[in-house]
Chain A
């Protein structure tokens, strides 16, 4: 069954802590994306990757980091430098950039 998965569903972060959100796809897609969704603000792009071992900053990359060591995986780390991390995080993939994007179920990050 092809698809895109995210884990965990809920994540709690303590002050000063780095946390990593997982995103895996078995669609054989080259491009992967991370978005942040806040109420009333729509989706904002954090990072994207068009190919393994390469990624670009989106509109709100500060306080976040990513890696793309495997085609299937695109983990997002929320660092302690991100002062307002509470949000719903969505991962997506597409065959190539600009084509239909397929989304995972999301991870809700909360600060303790």
Chain B
């Protein structure tokens, strides 16, 4: 059974700093990994999807990396802004249909 872990559960960072969020998974036989953002009381917004053949994927100030052999992914946020404050979740496919989610990292950017 796939298990996905995100540590730390919460992170506070001063505005302007670069930061890294971590995601680890137990079964490395995945074909992609997704990062999502969730604002309080809202649905999830897809940020990045990395295919297993890729090592990195970039969108604006966000960069996600994937190392299947070690069962890890990181989400790098450059020049953090208060608007980046949210919970960030990673998810990997389980079988061909389902996603297994981590419990998320709650990020607070301090102005």
Residues of A within 8 A of B (CB): 6, 31, 33, 40-43, 45, 48, 50, 56, 58, 88, 90, 92, 97-106, 108
Contact = CB atoms under 8 A, between A and B. Distances in A.
Contacts of B102: 42
Give the interface size bracket for B toward A.
Answer: 20 to 34
A81 B45 CA distance: 32
Dominant secondary structure at the B interface: strand
A90 B41 CA distance: 11
Contact of A106 (B32, B42, B49, B93): B42
A13 to B, nearest CB: 19
A48 B97 contact: yes
A43 B46 contact: no
Dominant secondary structure at the A interface: strand
Contact of A98 (B41, B44, B45, B96): B96
Contacts of B81: none
Nearest to A31: B97
Given A48-B97, A97-B96, A97-B97, A43 B43 contact: no
Contacts of B25: none
Interface of B: 31-32, 34, 36, 41-46, 49, 89, 91, 93, 96-99, 101-104
Contacts of A108: 41
B45 A103 contact: yes
Contacts of B101: 42-43
Contacts of B34: 100-101
Given A42-B89, A98-B93, A58 B43 contact: no
